[in-house]
Amino acid sequence: MRAPVTDLPLVLDQVSLDAGGAKILDRASLTITAGAPTLIVGPNGAGKTSLLRLCMGLLSPSAGAVTWGGRDDRAPVRRAIVFQRPVMLRRRASANVAYALAHAGVPRHARAARVSELLDRVGLAELSERPARRLSGGEQQRLALARALARDPEILLLDEPTANLDPAATRSVEEIVLRAAQGGIKIVMASHDLGQVRRLAGDVVFMLRGSVREQGGAAEFLDHPSTLEARNFLRGDLVF
């Protein structure tokens, strides 16, 4: 029997990314393995979003290599991504999820039950018939998570999914993320919220000026960062 296809480990090897004459990423190396959530932190402009897009296969590196489970093809076999401001289709919440299931290859006869299951999983069962664009910001983000989970991902990439949400909506999203992680999905999430890092992270990647400056266990990073730049960042000082 063939071994099941996997996207882990996800490896970035000396990856650089240039755009418009600027260097967005500079020889970034990173290995993502199964386990607790990996949170990516750093100041604005550090390259966190570009790194996630490379991890998803939405961008190609200018130099270096990205591999998924030892493969270098960019087709998203077992991964999904949720952006900070997800685009909602002009359809009901349930139809948004059904659309994602169709693209994931789920047979038509199995979609209705799966839609109900996913909406219940993200706490939107009672809003299934509401137009997606009439949902609140937090509800839209939870719907975006349902669409991502429709792909049955092994890796779920999240680009600051709670950046624009109030504390209650943030807590709801974090609960969904934690349950996904407990169910075996590898979470790779960019965040600007150090409290969130402490609540969610198993390990932390600290980025600055397009490079990975530090990676390690969350508690060790938060309490005993090894680089001066990370110490300054954690104190709230400006780092460039």
171-211 pLDDT per residue, tens: 999 999 999 999 999 999 999 999 999 999 999 999 999 99
In a domain, 173, yes or no: yes
CATH number at residue 62: 3.40.50.300
CA gap 166, 58 in Å, rounded: 29
Q: Which domain holds residue 60?
A: 10-235
Type and span of the H or E element at 205: strand 203-208
What tens digit of pLDDT does each residue of 44-87 get?
999 999 999 999 999 999 999 999 999 998 887 789 999 999 99
User: Cis peptide before 225, with omega less than 30 degrees from 0?
Assistant: no
* pLDDT on residue 39: 98
∠81-85-89 over CA atoms, to 5°?
Answer: 85
Q: Looking at the predicted structure, is the pLDDT value of residue 35 above 80?
A: yes
Question: Which candidate, 127, 136, 123, places its Cα nearest to that of 166?
Answer: 136
In a domain, 2, yes or no: no
The residue ranking higher by pLDDT, 238 or 235, is 235
CA gap 63, 13 in Å, rounded: 9
Q: Looking at the predicted structure, is the pLDDT value of residue 239 above 90?
A: no
* pLDDT on residue 16: 98
* pLDDT on residue 3: 52
What tens digit of pLDDT does each residue of 105-132 get?
999 999 999 999 999 999 999 999 999 9
In a domain, 89, yes or no: yes
In a domain, 108, yes or no: yes
* pLDDT on residue 47: 96
Six-digit token string for 56: 């998803």
Number of domains into which the chain is organized: 1
Q: Looking at the predicted structure, is the pLDDT value of residue 148 above 50?
A: yes
In a domain, 215, yes or no: yes
In a domain, 127, yes or no: yes
Strand ordering across the sheet containing 211-217 = 79-82, 155-159, 186-190, 38-41, 203-208, 211-217
CA gap 97, 143 in Å, rounded: 8
> 């990996």: which residue's tokens?
38
* pLDDT on residue 170: 97
CA gap 211, 209 in Å, rounded: 6
In a domain, 79, yes or no: yes
In a domain, 240, yes or no: no
Six-digit token string for 140: 């839209």
Q: How confident is the model at residue 1 (pLDDT cuts 50, 70, 90)?
A: very low
